[in-house]
Structure 1
């Protein structure tokens, strides 16, 4: 009995140590990880701070290996993502190169560098930095899987507090003079973007959408734990916090964020079970509403087609993303190397896209992942999206019947916001958002596993013949 109590005490110490180091990592990542450069001195400190989280989370998972297949698949997908930059650091024979690689070898030969064996990555140092950049996110993902359900509510609340506290800081930064030394980021035109701790105001918009989704999940869970009481309680505070996130969104000036708010809001309500959309759509009013919505959407699309086409032509991010995808074909199947976008794009940039400043990212995470990672990156990406789709189906079938199901739904929609925004930007290229989204992914998979186990227990209790 004494040895068993000692084992339980040791496990509790491990859990609380993981919680403490994880919270420290989240706070540090939020305070210093809002820049969009691939590697800074702050990122190096964050990577070192993530190592204790990585070790403790791995120890917990080894003590109690996950049995749910979706969780196991999540570990495989995370491993594939990390594996992409790892294998790109291996040597690659010249005979296996693409046309772009063979041209590089020819140029090196003319420069007197003969017999060169290239690595998979054409920029090994950048790929090493890209690999290290993944460490905080990988550690947070494992921590989200390893920590039991009783910690998830508090971790989600901690994330909401970080997002909300950035709002007054953004007001403070926006109100400073252009030449103020207190400005966290100095912009070339002297403007003051409403980003707070984020150098990119679009990424602040992503964070606000994430905060809204988490507030909805926390509010619904609190309301149900109070038996659906309409009296004053934490659920009203969460509703107010979600409203603050929504009302702050226009101040960021992010078009993508403004477009994401309403769809993410509706999807979150559906997935937590508050809005039984399928049951409603089967009724006559529901069918009429669906048909009317489709007609209105088509009319709006027709009326706004010219404006949309003008945006696609005038906004440089769309031609840059298209050019990036075409360059990826030239570097296939191996890719130019994770972290090498700036060099690869600058060497192959079409004359029509020449701009005074260099393109730091493709503003389309999927096109950049294709250019820099090649086919191995696409395998990891498709595996991740397939896992995300299966998770969506599981969450929808649970319909928010338990706290775990509600948390999984909120995490899923928060991740969806970042994935959709990644079509026109690069929010996951910031250490802060990458760490937050990775933690949410781990908690989502763990919550789904807990929710499915709870559903099976309730089914067996209702029907003793089952199982």
Structure 2
């Protein structure tokens, strides 16, 4: 067996073990745990193996762009470790005031880009599991990509089962994972992140159902196997309310509708030709709209009872005083406490802005926002490519795309990507998406003449005819 083939066969078990480890030990939201370094070290061999395979066998243009953006994300905290001239360091208004205080206290200014270089270095290390999962997913064979999505779906289902187990234990039971009641979170300490995980699993189940349906047409799997995945999708949909996440309830129905149409579970061309399916599609859209409106109203009530919107506005304002450099990755807690408004002078410290975009702006400044815009532009480009593609790889890429968009939507009111569990999971989703979209076949159209009349007819996808080459 060639060395490269052996390495590629080894890659799927390696990244699967990494994801399992991240789910078992990376679900907490505190800034530092004893397992963080272990997970980062576990990711190193996966990074090296995946990088070697990508260098030896090459990568598609989509994967190359994704790798460039992944490195750009890692470059942000890496650059913040550098020292900069004192004049540039004092450029942000917040640092001018800080320099005055430090001088009055007799403390010499250390002009690093980041106000907390140690925390920024730690943030750089914490990117390793997600980077490893991303690179490994990019280097997998097509069939291995499906297996990886099945692994992620299995982890979500396991966590739901574990959440039921934990919820059934007495409050003082020694079997409880956490010393406090984390609700229906399971391995995840934050129930909002459980909602995010269930939405990811639901979308992946829809995508795997569509892919299984195409494989069944080739005789590669049981004819009705896709119904199992659809059942799992429905099950995970019903689990989202148990998480008590308001944002999750707003996102889950639109995510389901988008996944159904994007994954071609219900092809649009067939919907338009079949009144029953058209009625069902309209019902799904109406249900999604009703769910969104109800959820938005629910969240409007939430603004009266919680301070998330105040935290978001404060983080944006504080970020403006730290522009253009940002306060530094990992510096949110001290930088926020130093300039927080009176309404946020609370007995407990504010650990996150509860808005990923506001926190990213505050801690990374102009450079971080530029990288964020490039990532969003890549997602738009992938969506355009998928709209013109078909086949099993297009189906899997679409499911990953919808899952990532759902996570980004939830990031507006929470911080799911601040946990190693969801960060590594999203890294794997991004890798599968880019590798699969590069191999997705374009939709074909042709002009045909039937009974002497000219008619425009869409070619039936070869996936459905069963005579296409394996994706």
Task: Tell me the distance in 2 between the aligned counterparts of 1:419 and 1:396.
Answer: 20
Q: Mapping of 1:192-211 within 5 angstroms?
A: 192-211=182-201
**Which residue of the partner structure matches residue 394 of structure 2?**
405
Task: Tell me the distance in 1 between the aligned counterparts of 2:278 and 2:208.
Answer: 31
Change (3 A) 1:292 1:46: closer
Task: Tell me the distance in 2 between the aligned counterparts of 1:326 and 1:125.
Answer: 25
Unaligned runs of 5+ in 2: 446-461, 463-471
CA contact (8 A) 2:254 2:292 kept: no
| Range 199-208 or range 237-246, more displaced | 237-246
Task: Tell me the distance in 1 between the aligned counterparts of 2:189 and 2:162.
Answer: 13
- Secondary structure of the residue that 1:182 maps to in structure 2? coil
**Which residue of the partner structure matches residue 439 of structure 1?**
428
Q: Mapping of 1:215-226 within 5 angstroms?
A: 215-226=205-216
CA contact (8 A) 2:253 2:291 kept: no
Change (3 A) 1:282 1:331: farther
Q: Mapping of 1:118-137 within 5 angstroms?
A: 118-137=111-130
Change (3 A) 1:269 1:170: same
The two structures have a TM-score, normalised by structure 1, of 0.88
**Which residue of the partner structure matches residue 248 of structure 1?**
239
- Secondary structure of the residue that 2:388 maps to in structure 1? helix
| Range 306-315 or range 134-143, more displaced | 306-315
CA deviations on 1:383-426 (whole Å, 9 max, x unpaired) are: 0000011111111221xx21101110111111111111000001
| Range 442-451 or range 96-105, more displaced | 96-105
CA deviations on 1:363-395 (whole Å, 9 max, x unpaired) are: 100000000000010011000000011111111
CA contact (8 A) 2:163 2:186 kept: yes
Q: How many residues align?
A: 444
CA deviations on 1:113-134 (whole Å, 9 max, x unpaired) are: 24x3410100111111111110
**Which residue of the partner structure matches residue 344 of structure 1?**
335
Per the TM alignment, residue 431 of structure 1 is displaced from its structure 2 partner at its CA by 0.5
Task: Tell me the distance in 2 between the aligned counterparts of 1:246 and 1:295.
Answer: 17
Q: Mapping of 1:48-447 within 5 angstroms?
A: 48-68=41-61, 70-96=62-88, 97-114=91-108, 116-187=109-180, 191-227=181-217, 233-277=224-268, 309-398=300-389, 401-447=390-436
Change (3 A) 1:103 1:192: closer
Per the TM alignment, residue 260 of structure 1 is displaced from its structure 2 partner at its CA by 1.5
**Which residue of the partner structure matches residue 451 of structure 2?**
none
- Secondary structure of the residue that 1:226 maps to in structure 2? helix
Task: Tell me the distance in 1 between the aligned counterparts of 2:283 and 2:183.
Answer: 38
**Which residue of the partner structure matches residue 467 of structure 2?**
none
Task: Tell me the distance in 2 between the aligned counterparts of 1:239 and 1:277.
Answer: 18
Change (3 A) 1:303 1:433: closer
Task: Tell me the distance in 2 between the aligned counterparts of 1:337 and 1:180.
Answer: 41
| Range 127-136 or range 173-182, more displaced | 173-182
Task: Tell me the distance in 2 between the aligned counterparts of 1:36 and 1:48.
Answer: 19
**Which residue of the partner structure matches residue 47 of structure 1?**
40
RMSD over aligned CA atoms reads: 3.1
CA contact (8 A) 2:203 2:399 kept: yes
CA deviations on 1:57-86 (whole Å, 9 max, x unpaired) are: 110111022232x22221111111000000
Change (3 A) 1:62 1:171: same
| Range 36-45 or range 292-301, more displaced | 292-301
CA deviations on 1:20-78 (whole Å, 9 max, x unpaired) are: 2211101111111100122211111100000000000110111022232x222211111
Change (3 A) 1:291 1:220: closer
The two structures have a TM-score, normalised by structure 2, of 0.87
Task: Tell me the distance in 1 between the aligned counterparts of 2:427 and 2:298.
Answer: 36
Task: Tell me the distance in 1 between the aligned counterparts of 2:246 and 2:440.
Answer: 36
Q: Mapping of 1:17-36 within 5 angstroms?
A: 17-36=10-29
- Secondary structure of the residue that 1:370 maps to in structure 2? helix
Task: Tell me the distance in 1 between the aligned counterparts of 2:214 and 2:285.
Answer: 33
CA contact (8 A) 1:281 1:290 kept: no
Per the TM alignment, residue 15 of structure 1 is displaced from its structure 2 partner at its CA by 0.9
CA contact (8 A) 2:152 2:201 kept: yes
Task: Tell me the distance in 2 between the aligned counterparts of 1:297 and 1:150.
Answer: 32
CA contact (8 A) 2:253 2:292 kept: no
Task: Tell me the distance in 2 between the aligned counterparts of 1:233 and 1:294.
Answer: 26
Unaligned runs of 5+ in 1: 1-7, 459-467
CA contact (8 A) 2:332 2:352 kept: yes
CA contact (8 A) 1:54 1:138 kept: yes
- Secondary structure of the residue that 2:120 maps to in structure 1? helix
